[in-house]
Amino acid sequence: MATEESVRALEEVLEQLLDDYRDLQAPHVAVLSDPPSSVEALRMIHRGPPVIIENFSPLTARAEGYDWSRPETYEQISGNRSVTVAVTDDGLADSVRTLPDGTTTFVKPFEERMTIPSLISRLGRRGESSSYAYYLQSQDGNIYRSEPHPSGSSELAMFQPYIERDIPWMKEAIGSEAEAVNLWIGDCNSTTSLHHDPYENIYHVLAGTKTFTLLSPIEGLWLNQQFHPSSTLQRTSSSESLVPVLDPPPTYPIPWVSAVNFPARVHPLRITLKEGQSLFLPAGWWHRVEQKEGLSGIVVAVNYWYTAELHPEAYAYERFARRIARSAGRHGVVPVEGE
């Protein structure tokens, strides 16, 4: 059992780790005025921090002539085909809630099938009378995916002629095609809670703005991430209200950060992506995303998830840091698997 003195020593080591990181890490997000070459993209990936990229578009030649900031474009291309839309009563599709008995649960959204025109009619100024937040956020490669979709073609395959299958400089830098390409359509009522993904991410805004709050993986050691049983929002039989219902077994607890405020020791980076801008978001970086509609009342983005290369040294250092944090009593750090 760790003594008070040994815990204090471990905390000092963690504090020095963060200071060492900040010695070299820039306090702002770099901006590239033009898309990188594949070699430059490889350097960007290995360098580590996020980067804003200007003058890049994932749209194909066939997309020219369409105004991608306007809802009519998405309505025209999608027609009357139904898609899966996340519905919540608080705008947080994946987040932690406290149940009436005082326990917590990781809540997934209620999913409803509707057409994109029906979705858009509920967004922005059009949806002022609605008590729900609607967000097209199916993250399983709804435009493209490297593995065949279990249900057949991707749900938004009708957008494939207009959105590139891959980003050439990322594909060449990574050495493989994107695992998933997704379209996101929503409004300011939807917010993404703080989380991190295991993919190298290129995120491009087509309409509105997206504001990212970013934390490095090292600063994640200061977050309180706990395991919560999973649940899904369901409509009650007696009313139209949405309530979380625990998922039936077999299920596994989900590690998630429930706090909205950041610990004083971490220094989040905050950037706003405008229409036509892209963000390289490295694998493992924590991020929370807020959004604001453009003049046409919608927020739209497309993102590419690429496989993150696993470096033995970085892998070992990350697991070592988690073991140190756990030994120092930081139970909000997820333990190393099997320990």
Nearest to 78 by CA among 305, 279, 300, 304: 300
CA 108/CA 100 separation, integer angstroms: 17
Q: Is residue 212 part of a domain?
A: yes
116, 80 contact by CB (below 8 A): no
Residues 6+ apart with CB under 8 A from 307: 174, 176, 179, 199, 200
Nearest to 202 by CA among 221, 230, 179: 179
In the DSSP assignment, the letter for residue 308 is P
What is the maximal distance between C-alpha atoms in the chain?
68
CA-CA-CA-CA torsion for 213, 256, 196, 12, nearest 10 degrees? 80
181, 303 contact by CB (below 8 A): yes
| Amino acid at site 237 | S
DSSP 64-112: TTS-TTSHHHHHHHHTT-EEEEEEESSS-SSEEEE-TTS-EEEEEPEEE
Helices (H), 194-304: none
pLDDT at site 82: 94
Q: Is residue 215 part of a domain?
A: yes
Tell me the residue length of the chain. Answer: 339
Q: Which two tokens stand for residue 26?
A: 């820039």
187, 127 contact by CB (below 8 A): yes
pLDDT at site 75: 97
CATH of residue 251's domain is 2.60.120.10
Q: Is residue 178 part of a domain?
A: yes
Q: Is residue 335 part of a domain?
A: no
pTM: 0.94
pLDDT at site 1: 61
Q: Is residue 334 part of a domain?
A: no
Continuous segment of H or E residues that includes residue 187? none
Burial bucket for residue 123 (CB in 10 Å: 0-12, 13-18, 19+): buried
Q: Is residue 321 part of a domain?
A: yes
Q: Is residue 119 part of a domain?
A: yes
Q: Is residue 336 part of a domain?
A: no
pLDDT at site 310: 87
Give average pLDDT by consecutive 10-residue segment, the chain, 339 residues.
Answer: 86 95 91 97 94 98 96 96 94 93 96 96 72 90 88 89 98 97 96 95 98 96 97 83 93 93 94 98 97 94 95 93 95 91
pLDDT at site 201: 98
Give the number of domains in the chain.
1
> Could you list the residue range(s) of the whole structural domain that residue 150 is in?
4-327
Nearest to 53 by CA among 38, 37, 28, 32: 32
CA 285/CA 214 separation, integer angstroms: 7
Strand 299-307 and strand 104-108: pairing? unpaired
